[in-house]
Structure 1
């Protein structure tokens, strides 16, 4: 990226017009340059799970329930931790980029790999012993046993999350957003095609659906790695460095702090599905709740795009020493996010009764999804506020612990 482009995206040091409408417009343009690619990336990345669920839902209701239980409870639990911890990469790299300390970005990326891979390895036994865990917490035996067909398939996806999210945030912090968006969109298209080929044409069933998920997800990591290591980030990636093993404590502290702020947003949905497993007709309840939860989470990916924008814009401005601009950026991004939330809230109220048909042909599941559509719509509306405020919390945290960048 040339200096002129960088200056346009970060904002010039020279003050422009003071008119509020002009400032909002300029800030919105800067935010959307980050938000749109981040949205596209997150929607397509999570969309691979939604597509997999849709194909499995047309295999059998029991398989749909088992997939939902594994994905929503175990994977969501792990994903909540990893998403939060990976946001530390975004914050640290964004501030380093704003301060023009480009060499530190590659080191922060490597430190994040060390922390996140360690955490993923600690959580891996959850998938290895998934059936025993589900039986222990009182889920129905047939669903718990069926979950064994999915749990081990999720291990490659667990490590995909580590490398995909950290590489994505590394690139996003230096405003290389479109490459992430195109790679994510391409992997999503590949996943749809492979799922159709493996499940519908070749009739491979669950192995076909989960194999398609593994291949398409890791194709994105490979693409991001080729871009970073292949010389397209000469300022920020200078190869592996032993410095990644030093001063790692600040990264751990920020990762843990970020993790707790964001993972609770994802965990409470898992609790809802866990409780659904104790209801009468647990298979129907789990399938129905999981459909609503995945739609809600898919919409949350839009809002996490605004979270990415708030983190990057705040970190960039804080790196330049402009705290007032960081606060103004958060206000503008929040208004944009709420506007999108209102639009989607209305759409969900209008079309909520037809959502279930996308995932299953079971009329009982479809009826229950329809009955939950109003609650789903209001949950979608509230999603538009919380992620941006997380960005504000990160700003306040960093404002008080600015020494992290320099340790």
Structure 2
């Protein structure tokens, strides 16, 4: 590794072939030049390594959680202000955020996640100069996807009518979607640069920028929507502006030279090997979108039950709570993805495997803690969301399922993060299709409709799909030869560096 790249990783980097048997340093910053960890031979050594690895994970997960919450809050704040104008304005913003923008967000985030594999492993191998090429390649792919996605925004009103929304809500949401097209292009720039920075453990920068956006967003929302009376136009201007502020600030940091040799300017190398890169990006998108759409289907199926309004309202409250808790698991997803890809890139199979163990144990503990809070407050928290006693009673009855779902959904994203870090996106996409859509949904529909268990049956059936998927991923991880994965990481870095053509065999390995 060139000396100029060392400040990007740690100030205490050692020679890669050094024989020191202790952890490379006490810093939480990844050390590419350190040796792989020794086998653990005692409980004391396990605890010592556990504490050290926890520092590494939370250094990444903490700012990532804050960033996810900040960005998640932008749409929520806009909905709150829209609700002060009319129910139609609130419905328009809510529907556009959850369906139109939500679909595009999931697809773009998934495609951008390909960089978590490639950039993370390149950093681990000390090939930091490749990161800029990868990011530019991802920009090319994501921008090419924005143009077909624009048609969803343009014809949003018609699409919403076709899926059963009322004419009034569809037309209002369709108009708002047209104003939100600039946000789509912000997504295309944001996710690649965010993954580019995450791979280098520059998560504090992302958190600070997201935090500033979260503070400014309600101020400008009040100014334009309330003070100037712009209504939905003001909502669109501020929401677009907040996302573009995040993008421009992150790009300003990258272009300022703070990333060293990771950014060497624009290059025509970004247009090489685009087909293989597109395949990996689409595999990442399918893997993540299948998980997101699976839980969106819960509310859709609840709408076909008897007393659908109560079922949908109760489900929406549960999903809202689940959404906030998932922000924690998303942060751990980012952390373990970066850790796995960094360590595999550095040819540290034992460290990669131990990082997975620590992440799973930590996520189970956090999930159990959140579930306990829900169980203890089950008689009180529904009142914060609804005054309808029937809805509140159903939410109370669903709380044990919600608590179990919180635990499962704190572990499952960690396993997905391992898959992204190791480059298993294509395999996991097939696993998701089988477990979620060929098993979970049919079981949920049978329990909910045929056996007449209603909303609980639908949720239990679909949770069985999540549990099956989690078990399959655990088996895959248990059977994984991490030495082989480390050697595959070297192949990925060599083939995706832009200097060679990628053979069909190596593409299949990716």
Quote the Cα distance in structure 1 between the aligned partners of 2:158 and 2:307: 21
**Which residue of the partner structure matches residue 405 of structure 2?**
379
Partner of 2:382: 353
1:146 corresponds in structure 2 to 172
The answer (yes or no) to whether the contact 1:143–1:283 under 8 Å persists in 2 is no
Native 8 Å contact 1:117 1:162 kept in 2? yes
Task: Give how far 1:214 is off.
Answer: 1.3
Supply the distance in 2 between the matched residues of 1:152 and 1:276 (Cα, whole angstroms): 29
How far apart, in 2, do the equivalents of 1:46 and 1:169 lie?
Answer: 17
In 2, Cα distance between equivalents of 1:157 and 1:289: 28
In the alignment, the residues of structure 2 paired with residue 35 and residue 320 of structure 1 have an alpha-carbon distance, to the nearest angstrom, of 21
Give the counterpart of 1:4 among 2, 8, 11: 11
Equivalent residue of 1:218, what SS?
Answer: helix
CA RMSD of aligned residues (A): 2.7
Q: Which secondary structure does the structure 1 equivalent of 2:262 belong to?
A: coil
**Equivalent position to 2:235, from 204, 209, 215:** 209
Distance 1:166 1:124 in 2: 19
Match for residue 77 of structure 1 among 103, 117, 133: 103
- After TM superposition, the score normalised by the length of structure 1 is 0.89
Secondary structure of 2:261's counterpart equals: coil
Q: Which runs of 5+ in 2 are unaligned?
A: 1-6, 14-23, 425-484, 496-510
Question: Does 2:70 align with 1:50?
Answer: no
Matching of residue 324 in structure 1 with residue 346 in structure 2: no
Question: Is the counterpart of residue 99 in structure 1 residue 125 in structure 2?
Answer: yes
| Cα distance in 2 between the residues matched to 1:218 and 1:314 | 30
Higher Cα radius of gyration? 2
- After superposition, the Cα gap between the structure-2 partners of 1:33 and 1:110, relative to the gap in structure 1 and judged at 3 Å, is same
Distance 2:321 2:283 in 1: 27
Deviation of the 1:298 alpha carbon: 3.2
Which of 330, 334, 349 does residue 308 from structure 1 map onto? 334
Conserved 8 A contact 1:139-1:278? no
Offset of 1:42 from its aligned partner?
A: 1.2
Given the two structures, how large is their TM-score scaled by the length of structure 2?
Answer: 0.72
Q: CA deviation at 1:291?
A: 5.4
What are the equivalent positions in structure 2 for 1:180-191 lying under 5 Å apart?
180-191=206-217
Deviating more after overlay: 320-329 vs 338-347: 338-347
CA distance in 2, matches of 1:188, 1:393: 31
| Structure 1: segments with no counterpart, 5+ residues | 358-362
Q: Contact conserved, 1:115 with 1:252, CA < 8 A, in 2?
A: yes
8 Å CA contact retained: 1:276, 1:286: yes
Q: Distance in 2 between matches of 1:152 and 1:340?
A: 40
Deviation at 1:90, TM superposition (A): 1.8
Deviations 1:166-198 (A, max 9, x none): 111101101111111100111011112112223
Aligned residue for 1:233? 259
- Aligned-partner Cα distance in 1 for 2:90–2:312: 9
Shift of 1:280: 8.3
Q: Distance in 1 between matches of 2:176 and 2:233?
A: 8
With a CA cutoff of 8 Å and minimum separation of 6, indicate the structure with the bigger relative contact order. Answer: 1
| Structure 1 counterpart of 2:482 | none
Give the aligned partner of residue 13 of structure 1.
Answer: 35
- What pairs with 1:17-56 in structure 2 (closer than 5 Å)? 18=40, 19-56=45-82
Distance 1:285 1:144 in 2: 22
Distance (whole Å) between structure 1 residues aligned to residue 404 and residue 366 of structure 2: 13
Deviation at 1:25, TM superposition (A): 0.5
Select 1:339's aligned residue among 349, 360, 365. Answer: 365
Match in the other structure for 2:474:
none
CA-CA distance at 1:206 after TM superposition: 1.9
Aligned residue pairs total 401
What's the CA shift for 1:32? 0.9
Query: Which residue of 2 is the match for residue 120 of structure 1?
Result: 146
